[in-house]
Structure 1
Amino acid sequence: MASAKQDFERFVEWLHLQEKNIPSEVRRLANLSLANFDSLAATSRNRSQRSIYLVDLIRATLALTSDAPPAFQAVAANGAWPWKRLRHLTLGPFRGFRNPEPFDLQKPIILFYGPNGSGKTSFCESLEYALLGEVEEAGSKRIDAKTYLTNSHAQRFVPPILKATDQQGREVDVVSNAETYRFCFIEKNRIDAFSRIAARPAGQRSELIATLFGMDQFNEFVAHFNETVDRQLVLEVDKQVVLTARRDALATDQVTVDGEAKALQDLVNEEVQLGQTHSAEMTYAGLKQLIGSADAPCRLQELEGILNAVPPGNIGLTRPGLLQAFEKVHKLHGLVGEVSAALAERSSQVSFKDLYTSVSALQEAEGDHCPACNTPLEGPIHVVTNPYEKAKAGLAQLKDLGDLQESLRTRQSEAATASRELRQLLADMSKFIVALQEQDTSVGRYLADLAIEPAGDWWTNLYPAQLDPNPEAFVLEHLLIVADRVAEQDAASLLAQQERQKHIEERDGLNRFQLLIQAHDLKRQQCVDSIAEARTRIAAFDVTNAELIEQVAQEKRNIERDAPIKAAYDLFLTELRDYRDKLPGSLLAGLNETAMNLYNEFNRNDLDVDKLAALHLPLTGDEKIEIAFRGNPEARVDALHILSEGHIRCLGLAILLAKAQSIESPLVVFDDAINAIDHDHRGGIREAIFESDNFLQMQLIVTCHSNEFIKDIQQHLPPKRRGDCTVYLFRHHTGDYQPRVRGNIPTKNYIVKARAAKDELDDRAALASARQALEMLSEKMWRWLASHDLGMIGLQLPGVGAEPSLRNLCDALFKKLNEAATFNHANKTPLLVAFRRILGIPATNLVWTYLNKGTHEEADRDDFDAEWVEDVVHTLEELDDIDLRPGR
């Protein structure tokens, strides 16, 4: 979190500006946070970790913290840097370097190349540590700096020793200052992250500029402050509310005690009214006595006993009813006798009636002959009298006999019914006798011995009654006396049923009064108890609530302590977020024009309409990066929405370089940054950085794993700057865990190599480099002509799919420039002279043979013409001196 701490230091410094007039408590809080930055940064907003930590810290030490501005490292103002160029670096043991390794950094351009893992990153991190005092990668990975920087084989690390040359040419030690040198580094990771964030939805791009300038850690640090620390503070009078509620209850208790006499008198009045509700003369005590209790039963318990007793059922037996039953059965029995006697007198007729009935029944089966003799009823021989007709006639004459028989059956049925009815009455009487437990009486024994369904005239020994019975015999009167007793019981039961409803109504009324009395007695008891409890609470309030009273006092002290903390934190967080939101504007202020020009130079091959006419960098985190194209300069569009990923990366690099230029930084370190740019834009970037005048006063250190890019830088450096470049080669160790570092790598510039070979009389090698140089210069000249609208040339090809020969290309370029009569430029004449000299060498000469196809090992070859070889090298040197940058 090193970079985050640096940004937070700048915030604290900004917060202490006199014109901001920030309250003392807020400045103390800022100073306290800075003093405990590492511990604070290790917390997050999750589960209020940061708030809890910060509040505990504030309570413990805020009052002891000064509100004065802390001492900060001085930041170099533009043009007032403590040195103008790095001079020498020694690193190791450090990261990938096991042993000390020296580096000569006196040249303006230092190029490092080598495969991945060979030590380039360790070299850049040593510069970062020496200049900034920290390595950002260690903080972002949350690894202890000592652990991160230690060489695992040497088991230690030694801080790099960095020397520089000051404005007077003296050697000085470089003192680390993160704020001063933070914009000296341009890293691949930042450009990659810039392009990735650009691909996010618009609402998620607030960290765009922070990521580009390496301030994403500061953004993350600020984001983890909780919105409020209220939950960790005591701000509400919760205990006071409880105590106030209890004191209010105590006041209620006092009202209860003061109203005791009135409350008791009201109860007495209610008692009087309740007694009078029963009856005018009834008192409350009398009413309670009337109702009674289990211990002292009275009218209510009496009524309950009456109503709970089951009255006897109504038997329905009376003397007249019993006599009537005896009379009825006796009378019907007499009628049966009379009918039976009448039938006996006509017994002979009964046989004929049965005979005639039988003959009539046979008519259906034997209808054509006599059923007795089987003689036909008709025909020559037939019966004298038709038996069926005789039977019908006889039945008609005996009809009254049938009626007499039916009457006998009816009388017998009625007599049997009357017998059963009489027996049922005696059965009811038997139940009465059993209920009274009088089974041993004469009536009881008679009824017990009586069959359930007695046959015959079983009653005749009792009815009709004899005039002079035997005194000891059982007679009808005995039964009639019992019937009289049953009738009396039935009358008493009916009277009880009539009185029961009155008893129910009286009992229910007393029950209602009992409930009212119980409720009133409970009310009186509650009143008495509440008054007693109120007196007790009043007497014991201070003792009972002693702890709460102390808590209220402590709560008041806590609120007095925490209320300023809340105010300070809220304002601190507001200012911190405001600073974070304004940070992009402060970083990007004044960079629009410079960044736009660099972007256009990076994209030299784009159509002119696709280059930028305006660039508007955001001043707040909510604003967009807007651009306008030369094809439509009035239309401002969202750059991240319109530009491709490759163009966005170029824009990020242009912004970083513009920032370095704006602060007149003496140094820019490209930590593998070129590899973050796609191949199509590397030529434009190389030209803008190493071939233009943009960074002449700035030392450039480049690490790159691309040997070709390093070679291209050397090829295209202007002749006057080629001596300002040093190249280092990094290679993997061979088992000693120390990278193999080789300095003073010979230049790969074709013209320099051609001159060196010629000076050694190696014409073959000179022509090999000369061919490569001529190809490069011809391409450069062609691009230069195109920038002046002369890029269309005619080329002869030796065949389909073949490449044009180098001589044909040079000839076509010469003709195009020579025939451009209206084109006047300072470069025109020297270019024509140089190409005329090159083309003056005959095409069949061995020199052009090698310039066209390159040099190869051949047997029995002729020697080269040394003068023409010299002319070629000399001419290339002249061409190299001409400024062929597009548009010049």
Structure 2
Amino acid sequence: MKLSLEAFRGVDSPFEIRFDTKQNLTVLYGENGSGKTTISDAFEFVIDGTAGSLEEKSLDGKSKLGQLVNACRKAVDLRVSLEVAGQTRSARLARQKVQLDGRLAYRLKVLSRKNITKLVEETPANRFKRIQDFVSIPALDREEAALNELVLSEQRNLESQSKLIAQAGEMLSALFEEHADKAKYGSRQDQWQRDLLQDSAETIAENFQMLDDLNQQIKRLRDDFKPLADSYPAVAKAQEAVKKEEAALAKLIADHSDDLAKAFETLQQARGFLRESGTGICPVCDSEIGHAALVEKVDQKLEALKAVKDQSQKAKNTKEALHAAQTSQKTLQQSFLSILIKLREVHQAAVDSEQWQLPDLVPSVLGMENAEDLTEGWFAGLKAEAPQLKPLSETVEREHAALQIRRKLQSDVRGALNRIKSAKGDGKRMEFSITRGEAIKKVLHDERIRHANETLKAISGDFAQLYARIHDGEKIETIQLYLHPNKKSSAQFDGTLFGKKEASPVALLSESHLDTLGLCLFLALEKRENPGNTILFLDDAIASVDDAHMERLYELLLEESAHFHHVVISSHYQPLRFKFRWGILTQNKVEFLELGRWTLDSGLSLKRGPSSEVSFLRRYVREAEHPSAIANTAGLVLENILDFLTGIYQCRLPRSPGAEQRWTLNDYRSGLAGEKKLLPALRCEHLDEQGTVTRPIPLAPLLEDVFSRLQIRNAIGCHFKELAGHFDELAEALALGNATLALAEALCDERDTLPDRKKDGCSWHNRGGTVTRRLYPLHKPE
């Protein structure tokens, strides 16, 4: 796994860091300000496209992503890429947005001490937000949310139906107050409604149609009355005109013969001939009377004949006018008769319905069957009886208006009652839906709580075991994480601590305990969600842990790292580096990287992690150049080995009360030599991966060889002594170094770690899953 940076935070020039994923765990050591968080932020930037540790910080309104750019570079220069298992992902900044290229099947989880504190000390609601991805069932959450929305919607609809019922009731009360006969009904609104609605809508429509028909016929009678009345004098006048014009025509005809009338056209043509020719001879009798006299005589004849013709036309016109007037009168009579017949029919139908008390029709209306009977005399009788039809017209209009009001009132009352009925029916359906919905919501809620609590119980059990491995023997019986039974999205965090039930860890535990508690909770949560594709980055998350718990915490992280794709621990905790250097912490399946001091010019720098002192001694012996370095390093390695042996076997060493114990190599030698039965019993077995002993090594000869050379360490490696000038310093130093290496390689495993575990109950053995060293005896012989 390789992370490459340029122009990112504290990195100016291109910088890359490789992580050996063949190892489960990488320890990234560096002093404060060396760039550990820069690397953590780069992981978050390239995987998640976020600003990492800046996300939860206030930058006074400045763009958080923009602040990732190195102070000496521009945003376009920023580049971060990550290679994991053959997949490459790169990230850049463009217009304050992250551009991600490349597919990466791995997710990143970063944990800093601040996040540990938040996870433990958050409010229940905020704590739930941090763990909800691990305890939620998305499909169930969606169903519960949809059902909750449905119930709320039905409750709102039910409230609307209740308002509709109230409004309809108010409307019915107002209609009752306005229209009901209080003398008849008093306060009996229901009875008034029943009486009002006893006639069906069809009956009301039929009655309405009858009154409409009756009213229409009366209106037609009224509309056609004057035209028929006018037709009688019109016919009489036309008859008088015919008589007059025919008399005038008879007189003219008597004065002139018909034959001249027949010659009218001939005379017209003759006049035209005479005017054009100027002759004075008559074209008929050949008499010579003079031209002027002849023309005048023809004109006189023509005028006389024209008068006869005109009068004849007038007589004809008056006859035609008389015929038209008579025809119009007959049409009016026929139409009026149809009105009378229809009026009688609809009147009789209305009377037969017994719905109303209607006045009778007048005799002139009742007796007519033929149109020719509608004479002027009959019409004069109808005209005289017409005022008697007014009560009928008024009654029809009054009943029509009353029926119209009743129909409108019926419609309003029936509509209000239907709305009440419909609203009550819908309300019952909604109440049923709400009841069923609440029941199903409870089932979903209980199932969600059950699933979440089972998940949290498993997580709690897991992280409790993790926590107990760090704080073994402490009176912390149980710590559990669970959902509040009634509050949604509320994660409770308590337990039995020091005999107190439902106690808050935040109140009773130290900061160091809370840090390890949060770390164990984080590990337990992350192990439940595809840990094999997860990269964990613990950014100075274990800095507050004291030295007494550091080794157990480290061993825990090493074991748990096997569940994840890779785990990176960044730390500035110097005792951690020291323990690696001396093999106090196992280096099996562990990569140790160390960051150098950061500078503005060079940015981040990476150097090899601390080699063990045994490896330094090997190098010095191999180089064979510096006697003092060989002797000094051999002394340090021997002090560590002898301190280990005298410690596990509880050898007697000199003590100075009240002072820090500083034992010399001679003190350690005396302590071991004083145990007469121990030295002969000391042996270390080397085993292969199958557990077969490949080499048993007695330690007494190796220890005696070392003891015989201890003065060389003081003379060459620690103090200035003239004695050193009397022997070969390099040869003696190499002899001491080789004797020390022989002892170290007999005791230590492949990573120069001493066998300080005794889980098998019969020997001391090395750490890790494979036992390659066994030191006997387990206890000092008595």
Q: TM-score, normalised by structure 2?
A: 0.49
| Larger Rg computed on CA atoms | 1
Query: Which one has the bigger strand percentage?
Result: 2
